[in-house]
C-alpha cells in the first residue's frame, strides 16, 4: 500500500466488471478513485469533485461502436472545465477514433483490455500534466493580479510638475503604437520606469519586458547576450542560450545606455533592427523577432553623431518618438511628493514611525541640485530614516551640505568637507567630461568598469 497516494481519478464506463477491476487496482495508487456507469452523471460528479484525470469510455450501450457518444461526453467535460485531463478507454479497432478524439482535446487513450502497468504509467503522466496546467493557471492569475496593481497608468512614477504631465501625455499617446522610443535623461531620472510605463500601457503588456544594460555588456559577449549562441560556438558555450531579442519576442526590448555601444556593435544592432531577424552565434539559421524597441541614454547622441561616435542611421532607427526626462532640479515641485513617498516606503521597510519631513528640510532639498536625481533623493531618504531617532526629519538628517546646491553649482562646501563627497563630485565631473561614457570615465579614474558601477550605485549617480 502506498501511504503517499495522491490524485483523484474518475472512471466512466458502462462495463461494471471493468469498473470494479479498475477501482481495486487503482485505489492502491491514488487517493481517490470514483467509478460511474452512467455518463449522464458526469456533470454532477464534476460539480462536486475536482478530478485530476477522467478515464472515459468511447462507446456506451446506447451507441455501441461509432464513438460519437464518447466525443459528446469529451466535449461536455471540456466545456465544464477546459483544463480537464481526459484519457479515453477504447478497443483495438477504435484507435483511429481515439486519435481523432485527441485532436478534439483528449490527452491520451488506453486500449482494452489494458495492461495494469501501462495504465498506471498513462495515468501518472496525465496527472502530472494536470498539475502543470494548474500551476500555469495559478501563475497567470498571479500575473494578472500583479499587472492589475501595476497597470494603474503611472502607479510607480510620481510627478505633478508640468514637465512630467507632458511626459505622461506622450507616454499615453505612444504606448498604443509600436513606434520605437528613445528616452533621454541624466542618470537617476527614471528612464527605465518610463520604459516600463510605455510597456504596461501598450498592446504588448501581457508579454515580456526584457531590459538590457548595454553599459555592462562587454564587446566579446554582445552578440551572445543579445542574439544568443549555440552550444560549442565558443569556449564557454556549454549549452544553447536564448538571446535577449528572442526572450523579448512579442513583447518589449529595453536597451539602456545605448550611447555606450562602439561603432562595430552599433552596426550589428542596426542590421538586426532593419531585418527583424537574429542569428545565434554558431548558428546559420535566422530567427524572426517581433519586438517593440525602447532605448535610453544619458549621452548627447546628436553631438556624438556629429563627432562620428554614433551612427546617424541607427539614431534615426531608434528615435521614432523621443522622450526627454528633465532632471530633478528642474522640477522642484515634485521633490516633496517624492520625499513623502520614499519616507512612507522606508518607514515600512525599517519599522520606523517618522511622521513627516520638516519644512526646513524640504527647503534645503529644494536648494540642492540633486546631481543623482531621483536615485540620489531616494538614497538620502533611506539614510535619513535609518539614522534618525526623531519623529520629524530635519535638514541635518540628509547630509546635503557637502555637495553642490543651486547657489553653488559644481563646487565643494569646504565647511563640510568629507572624502565620500569628494569622490562623488570627482566621479560626476569625469562622467560629464566624457559625456557619460563609463569606459572612458573608469580609465580616467583608474578604476575598472565594475568598480565604477559600484561607486555610481553607492553615490546614487
Break the chain into its structural domains and give their ranges: 8-141, 153-326, 329-459
Q: For residues 147 and 204, give the distance between their C-alpha atoms in angstroms, rounded to a whole number.
A: 12
The more confident residue out of 141 and 92 is 92
Q: E-strand spans in 151-229?
A: 181-184, 209-213, 228-229
Q: For residues 361 and 393, give the distance between their C-alpha atoms in angstroms, rounded to a whole number.
A: 7
Under the banding of pLDDT at 50, 70 and 90, the label for residue 409 is: very low
Residues 6+ apart with CB under 8 A from 444: 430, 433, 434
Question: What letters, b where the CB count within 10 A reaches 16 and e where it falls short, cover 156-183?
Answer: ebbbebeebeebeebbeebbeeeebbbb
Q: For residues 186 and 381, give the distance between their C-alpha atoms in angstroms, rounded to a whole number.
A: 20
Pair 269, 261: CB distance under 8 Å: yes
Q: In this structure, what C-alpha cell is assigned to residue 453? A: 558601477
Lowest average pLDDT, out of 121-125, 382-386, 428-432, goes to 428-432
φ and ψ of 255, to 5 deg: -105, 105
Q: CA dist 448 to 214, 216, 425, 452, 453, Å? A: 16, 11, 18, 6, 9
State residue 328's pLDDT score: 93
- Fold observed for domain 8-141: Rossmann fold (3.40.50)
Query: What's the pLDDT tens digit per position in 63-86?
Result: 555 567 788 888 899 888 888 899
Pair 390, 357: CB distance under 8 Å: no
Q: For residues 99 and 107, give the distance between their C-alpha atoms in angstroms, rounded to a whole number.
A: 10
At residue 159, does pLDDT exceed 90?
no
Nearest one of 299, 298, 302 to 316, comparing CA atoms:
302
- Fold observed for domain 153-326: Rossmann fold (3.40.50)
Query: Which residue do the cell numbers 457518444 mark?
Result: 69
Q: In this structure, what C-alpha cell is assigned to residue 380? A: 538620502
Q: CA dist 233 to 46, 245, 428, Å? A: 52, 19, 40
Residues 6+ apart with CB under 8 A from 231: 237, 238, 239, 240, 282
Pair 202, 292: CB distance under 8 Å: yes
State residue 220's pLDDT score: 85
Q: CA dist 431 to 191, 305, 311, 426, 443, Å? A: 18, 19, 22, 9, 11
Predicted TM-score of the model (pTM): 0.58
Pair 359, 322: CB distance under 8 Å: no
Q: In this structure, what C-alpha cell is assigned to residue 161? A: 510638475
Burial grade of 113 (CB within 10 A; 0-12, 13-18, 19 or more): exposed
Q: For residues 193 and 186, give the distance between their C-alpha atoms in angstroms, rounded to a whole number.
A: 13
The most distant pair of C-alpha atoms in the chain lies apart, rounded to whole Å, by: 98
Q: Do 153-326 and 329-459 share a fold?
A: no
Query: What's the pLDDT tens digit per position in 235-255?
Result: 777 777 888 999 999 999 999
Query: What's the pLDDT tens digit per position in 166-202?
Result: 999 999 999 999 999 999 999 999 999 999 999 999 9
Lowest average pLDDT, out of 6-15, 77-86, 179-188, 402-411, goes to 402-411
Q: In this structure, what C-alpha cell is assigned to residue 449? A: 568598469
DSSP 443-460: HHHT--HHHHHHHHHHHT
CATH number among 3.40.50.620, 1.10.8.60, 1.10.3720.10, 3.40.50.720, domain 329-459: 1.10.8.60
Query: Which residue do the cell numbers 524572426 mark?
Result: 288
Query: What's the pLDDT tens digit per position in 263-322?
Result: 999 999 999 999 999 988 888 788 899 999 999 999 999 999 999 999 999 999 999 999
Pair 114, 75: CB distance under 8 Å: no
Amino acid at each position: 500500500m502506498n501511504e503517499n497516494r495522491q490524485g483523484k481519478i474518475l472512471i466512466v464506463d458502462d462495463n461494471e466488471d471493468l469498473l470494479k477491476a479498475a477501482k481495486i487496482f487503482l485505489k492502491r495508487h491514488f487517493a481517490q478513485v470514483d467509478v460511474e456507469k452512467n455518463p449522464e452523471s458526469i456533470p454532477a460528479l464534476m460539480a462536486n469533485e475536482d478530478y485530476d484525470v477522467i478515464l472515459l469510455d468511447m462507446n456506451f450501450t446506447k451507441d455501441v461502436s461509432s464513438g460519437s457518444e464518447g466525443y459528446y461526453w469529451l466535449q461536455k467535460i471540456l466545456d465544464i472545465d477546459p483544463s480537464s485531463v481526459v484519457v479515453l478507454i477504447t478497443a483495438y479497432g477504435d484507435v483511429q477514433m481515439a486519435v481523432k478524439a485527441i485532436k478534439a482535446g483528449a490527452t491520451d487513450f488506453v486500449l482494452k483490455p489494458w495492461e495494469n502497468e501501462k495504465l498506471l504509467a498513462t495515468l501518472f503522466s496525465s496527472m502530472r500534466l494536470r498539475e502543470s496546467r494548474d500551476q500555469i493557471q495559478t501563475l497567470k492569475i498571479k500575473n494578472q493580479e500583479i499587472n492589475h496593481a501595476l497597470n494603474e497608468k503611472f502607479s510607480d512614477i510620481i510627478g505633478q510638475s508640468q514637465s512630467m504631465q507632458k511626459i505622461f501625455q506622450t507616454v499615453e499617446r505612444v504606448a498604443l503604437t509600436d513606434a520605437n522610443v528613445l528616452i533621454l535623461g541624466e542618470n537617476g531620472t527614471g528612464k527605465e520606469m518610463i520604459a516600463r510605463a510605455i510597456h504596461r500601457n501598450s498592446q504588448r503588456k501581457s508579454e515580456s519586458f526584457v531590459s538590457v544594460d548595454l553599459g555592462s555588456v562587454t564587446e566579446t559577449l554582445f552578440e551572445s547576450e543579445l542574439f544568443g549562441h549555440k552550444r560549442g560556438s565558443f569556449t564557454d558555450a556549454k549549452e544553447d542560450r536564448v538571446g535577449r531579442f528572442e526572450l523579448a519576442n512579442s513583447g518589449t526590448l529595453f536597451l539602456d545606455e545605448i550611447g555606450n555601444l562602439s561603432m562595430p556593435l552599433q552596426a550589428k544592432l542596426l542590421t538586426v533592427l532593419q531585418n527583424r531577424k537574429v542569428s545565434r552565434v554558431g548558428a546559420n539559421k535566422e530567427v524572426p523577432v517581433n519586438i517593440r524597441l525602447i532605448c535610453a541614454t544619458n549621452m548627447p547622441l546628436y553631438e556624438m553623431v556629429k563627432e562620428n561616435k554614433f551612427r546617424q542611421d541607427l539614431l534615426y532607427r531608434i528615435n521614432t518618438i523621443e522622450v526627454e526626462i528633465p532632471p530633478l532640479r528642474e522640477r522642484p515641485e515634485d521633490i516633496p511628493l517624492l520625499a513623502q513617498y520614499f519616507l512612507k516606503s522606508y518607514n515600512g521597510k525599517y519599522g520606523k514611525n517618522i511622521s513627516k519631513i520638516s519644512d526646513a528640510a524640504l527647503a534645503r532639498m529644494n536648494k540642492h541640485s540633486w546631481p543623482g536625481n531621483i536615485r540620489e533623493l531616494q538614497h538620502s531618504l533611506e539614510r535619513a530614516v535609518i539614522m534618525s531617532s526623531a519623529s520629524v526629519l530635519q535638514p541635518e538628517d540628509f547630509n546635503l551640505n557637502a555637495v553642490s546646491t543651486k547657489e553653488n553649482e559644481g563646487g565643494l562646501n569646504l565647511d563640510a568637507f568629507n572624502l565620500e563627497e569628494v569622490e562623488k563630485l570627482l566621479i560626476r565631473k569625469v562622467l560629464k567630461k566624457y559625456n557619460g561614457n563609463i569606459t572612458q570615465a573608469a580609465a580616467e579614474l583608474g578604476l575598472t568598469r565594475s568598480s565604477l558601477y559600484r561607486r555610481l550605485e553607492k553615490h546614487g549617480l
